[in-house]
């Protein structure tokens, strides 16, 4: 099984006007990596989840996510947006954005990785490192190490 | 403190785990123990039942229905959406602490009402026989109380509309129903209430058996309970039938059967064999002596007069106030409520005494907060306002927030007041055909004015004793950490 995140799935200088645009840019990276087959279908699934309850969390985090038939393997795309993107959190826009793509009926080991990412997002140290990390490869490696 | 929590969210990918992490961290920060069951997509490991049993309170941070939530029935509970736990885990822990301090939810006598999975019991399989016996009986009682409430209030209402001769009025089936006639309505209510009452003993027996041996035991329990009614063994016969049915099913389960038969055991074989055994025993062997015992007990209760009647009122009053909605209170209450089915003057007097004695604890405390404000904290004064309503509605649990903070001074005062009220209600010969309702069913009560007098006297006694006891070595600050009634109610 391949890694959940690689350097080409990281955008440390994400510029997006809104959450749809941020999700689309990160989703394009997943399409390029062959992890998402149909970008429109995938984004529709993301939007559907987002409409149930915004995924923005206090502390500058946005985690658009879904289970989708258009996802081939569990994947993460990480975007850092200096200006922030509104994900509906009560305390303002998010600068740390994880697009979480889970295949329909994904296998347990991948789901565990996504679960541990979610747990890490609560920890201040994890967020600090992501805010200060310098290049995409370093970011991808740090995330992989943390969630494995 | 020890907490357990369940987290879940619509997709089961992110928030479930973030909430779990936040709760665990908050517990680690405050030095509490926390076990979280994440009902997400990575598969959930169910919490060890022992850990649930040991927990002081339960937190649900869930946007979708908590799976198997009956496992947590009867525990103090705090619940919210999943996001709240991510942002405000520490605050939720504080609420859980408050809920734990307030004790188990008041409505826990009916665990099935909590929704979620199917029927439930609160039986702790690891406990000693005495504890389990009590839990079996209380499970049965908890399923019967709604029948008592529905049937009893319908019958009480029918008497209010049509007078006491309604029992001998012609049946609706024979005389026909006339929507314009008050008598006809009264008779209809009487008959419907009577049907609900006719289920009391079968349901009691069925769910005692259910608590012991699960679903297959329902049939022999209900059938055995019905037979108990038929042979005149009443409430006592129902208890015996329920326990017998549970034991028989447990025994049959122990027999090893070939795999091919195992599938039809719970659906066909166990109900068939256990019902046959319980039925034969109830009709032939146990029924006659139990019927004789029941007749004897009924005659004894009816024959009680003067001092003995007052003594019974005192004992029931003490029981009602001792644990304010706990097992002892419920024992006294079930004795009275199930007795209503006998429809004898004595049973109506017992019901009246029990209800009155259950009303005075919150009422007395409410009065005390008004009489001597400075003895109570601001929170307690607020509780006092709620206690008026709770007491008037015969919800003894309204006294819990006061008793939890200062049991040594409060509980004996409550018991004294309730004993006085119970004794007076018996002495005045007040009767109640309604099993619940407090002040709102006073019009249905026999000797209503004396009944109110009994309640007022008990309330004053309670308030006077609480004020006196609290005047010694007691400052309001001591009680600063007590739980407001609103939170106790929210935990329910």
Nearest residue to B425 via CA among B309, B297, B321, B324 = B309
Contact of B199 with chain A, judged by CB distance below 8 Å, is answered with no
Name the β-bridge partners of B446. B431
Nearest residue to A95 via CA among A78, A110, A83, A107 = A83
Q: Is residue A2 part of a domain?
A: no
User: Going by C-beta distance under 8 Å and a sequence separation of 6 or more, which residues neighbour residue B303?
Assistant: none
Please tell me the distance from the alpha carbon of residue B401 to that of residue B103, in angstroms, as a whole number: 9
The segment(s) of chain B belonging to CATH 3.40.50.2300 are 2-102
Helix runs in B163-257, H state only:
172-175, 182-198, 200-213, 218-230, 234-254
CA B7 to chain centre: 29
Contact B13 A111 (CB under 8 A): yes
* CATH architecture group of domain B2-102: 3-Layer(aba) Sandwich (3.40)
Model confidence over B374-408: pLDDT tens digits?
888 877 888 888 889 888 888 787 887 788 778 88
**Nearest chain A Cα to B20, which residue?**
A119
Contact A111 B38 (CB under 8 A): no
Q: Is residue A70 part of a domain?
A: yes
Q: Which residue has the tokens 């309640």?
A: B455
**B84 to chain A: which residues are within 8 Å by CB?**
none
Phi-psi region of B325 (alpha: psi -120 to 50; beta: other; left: phi over 0): left
Give A102 to chain B, closest Cα distance, Å. 8
Residue B300 pLDDT grade (very low, low, confident, very high; cuts 50, 70, 90):
confident
Using CB atoms, which residue from A63, A100, A112 is nearest to B42?
Answer: A112
Give the total number of structural domains in chain A.
1
Give A53 to chain B, closest Cα distance, Å. 9
Contact A118 B11 (CB under 8 A): no
Q: Is residue A1 part of a domain?
A: no
**Dihedrals phi, psi of B7, to nearest 5 degrees:** -120, 145
Tokens of B261: 């038969």
Per-residue pLDDT of chain A (148 residues; tens, 9 = 90+): 578 899 999 999 999 999 999 999 999 999 999 999 999 999 999 998 888 888 888 888 898 988 888 998 888 999 999 889 999 888 889 999 999 998 886 666 667 777 888 888 888 889 999 999 989 999 999 998 888 7
Tokens of B104: 């188990």
Beta-strand ranges (E) seen in B52-182 are: 57-62, 77-80
Instruction: Report whether A72 contacts A4 (CB < 8 A).
Output: no
Task: Just list the catalytic residues of B.
Answer: 9
pLDDT at B104: 66
**A65 to chain B: which residues are within 8 Å by CB?**
11, 13-14
ipTM of the complex model: 0.81
**B42 to chain A: which residues are within 8 Å by CB?**
108, 111-112, 114-115
Q: Is residue A114 part of a domain?
A: yes
Instruction: Report whether A26 contacts A79 (CB < 8 A).
Output: yes
Please tell me the distance from the alpha carbon of residue B189 to that of residue B312, in angstroms, as a whole number: 31
Please tell me the distance from the alpha carbon of residue B373 to that of residue B467, in angstroms, as a whole number: 10
Q: Is residue A130 part of a domain?
A: yes
Min mean pLDDT across A45-54, B55-64, B293-302 is at B293-302
Tokens of B305: 């007069």
**A53 to chain B: which residues are within 8 Å by CB?**
10, 63, 81, 83
Contact B18 A112 (CB under 8 A): no
Percentage above 90 pLDDT, chain B: 27
Contact B14 A119 (CB under 8 A): no
Determine which helix (DSSP H) or strand (DSSP E) holds A75, and give its type and residue range: strand A75-85
User: Going by C-beta distance under 8 Å and a sequence separation of 6 or more, which residues neighbour residue B223?
Assistant: B202, B245, B275, B278, B279
Q: Can you tell me whether residue A118 is helix, strand or coil?
A: helix
Write down the mean pLDDT value for chain B: 82
Would you say residue B111 has pLDDT above 50? no
Would you say residue B114 has pLDDT above 90? no
Please tell me the distance from the alpha carbon of residue B8 to that of residue A26, in angstroms, as a whole number: 26
Q: Are strands B33-38 and A10-11 parallel, antiparallel or unpaired?
A: unpaired
Output the domain CATH number for residue A50. Answer: 3.40.930.10
Please tell me the distance from the alpha carbon of residue B44 to that of residue B444, in angstroms, as a whole number: 53
Contact B87 A90 (CB under 8 A): yes
Q: Give me the domain span that covers residue A128.
A: 7-147
Contact of A90 with chain B, judged by CB distance below 8 Å, is answered with yes
pLDDT at B482: 42
Contact of A119 with chain B, judged by CB distance below 8 Å, is answered with yes
What is the value of pTM for the model shown? 0.48
Contact A122 B25 (CB under 8 A): yes
């Amino acid at each position: 099984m391949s890694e959940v995140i690689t350097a080409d799935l990281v955008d440390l200088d994400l510029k997006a006007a809104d959450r749809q645009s941020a999700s689309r840019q990160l989703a394009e990276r997943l399409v390029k990596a062959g992890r998402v087959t149909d970008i429109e279908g995938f984004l529709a699934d993301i939007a559907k989840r987002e409409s149930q309850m915004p995924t923005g969390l206090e502390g500058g985090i946005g985690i658009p996510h879904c289970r989708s038939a258009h996802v081939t393997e569990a994947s993460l795309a990480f975007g850092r947006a200096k200006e922030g993107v509104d994900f509906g959190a009560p305390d303002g826009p998010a600068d740390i954005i994880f697009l979480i793509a889970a295949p329909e009926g994904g296998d347990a080991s991948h789901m565990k990785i996504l679960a541990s990412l979610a747990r890490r997002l609560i920890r201040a140290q994890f967020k600090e490192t992501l805010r200060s990390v310098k290049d995409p490869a370093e970011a991808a490696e740090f995330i992989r190490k943390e969630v494995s | 403190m020890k907490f357990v929590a369940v987290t879940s969210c619509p997709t089961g990918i992110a928030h479930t785990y973030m909430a779990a992490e936040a709760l665990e961290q908050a517990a680690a920060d405050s030095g509490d123990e926390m076990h979280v069951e994440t009902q997400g997509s990575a598969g959930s490991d169910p919490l060890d039942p022992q850990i649930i049993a040991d927990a002081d309170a339960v937190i649900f941070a869930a946007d979708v229905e908590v799976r198997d939530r009956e496992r947590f029935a009867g525990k103090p509970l705090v619940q919210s959406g999943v996001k709240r736990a991510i942002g405000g885990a520490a605050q939720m822990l504080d609420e859980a602490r408050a809920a734990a301090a307030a004790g188990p939810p008041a409505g826990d006598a009916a665990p099935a009402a909590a929704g979620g999975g199917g029927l439930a019991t609160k039986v702790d399989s690891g406990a000693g026989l005495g504890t389990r016996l009590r839990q079996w009986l209380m499970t049965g009682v908890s399923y019967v109380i709604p029948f008592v409430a529905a049937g009893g209030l319908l019958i009480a209402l029918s008497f209010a509309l049509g007078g006491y001769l309604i029992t001998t009025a012609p049946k609706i089936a024979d005389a026909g129903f006339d929507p314009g006639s008050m008598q006809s309505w009264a008779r209809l209510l009487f008959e419907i209430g009577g049907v609900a009452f006719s289920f009391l003993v079968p349901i009691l027996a069925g769910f005692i058996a259910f608590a012991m041996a699960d679903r297959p035991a329902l049939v022999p329990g209900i059938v055995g309970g019905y037979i108990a009614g038929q042979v005149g063994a009443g409430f006592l016969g129902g208890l015996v039938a329920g326990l017998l049915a549970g034991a028989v099913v447990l025994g049959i389960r122990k027999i090893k059967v070939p795999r091919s038969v195992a599938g039809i055991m719970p659906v066909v074989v166990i109900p068939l064999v256990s019902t046959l055994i319980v039925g034969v025993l109830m009709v032939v062997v146990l029924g006659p002596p139990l019927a004789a015992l029941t007749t004897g007990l009924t005659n004894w209760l009816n024959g009680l007069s003067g001092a003995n009647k007052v003594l019974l009122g005192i004992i029931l009053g003490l029981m009602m106030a001792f644990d304010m909605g706990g097992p002892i209170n419920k024992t006294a209450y079930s004795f009275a409520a199930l007795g209503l089915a006998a429809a004898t003057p004595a049973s109506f007097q017992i019901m009246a005494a029990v209800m009155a004695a259950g009303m005075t604890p919150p009422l007395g405390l409410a009065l005390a907060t008004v009489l001597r404000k400075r003895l109570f904290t601001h929170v307690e004064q607020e509780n006092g306002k709620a206690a008026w309503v709770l007491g008037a509605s015969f919800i003894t649990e309204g006294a819990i927030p006061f008793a939890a903070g200062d049991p040594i001074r409060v509980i004996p005062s409550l018991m004294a007041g309730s004993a006085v009220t119970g004794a007076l209600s018996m002495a005045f010969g007040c009767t109640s055909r309604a099993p619940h309702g407090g002040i709102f069913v006073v019009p249905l009560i026999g000797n209503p004015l004396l009944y109110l007098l009994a309640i007022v006297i008990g309330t004053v006694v309670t308030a006077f004793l609480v004020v006196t006891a609290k005047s010694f070595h007691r400052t309001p600050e001591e009680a600063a950490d007590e739980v407001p009634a609103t939170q106790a109610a929210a935990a329910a």
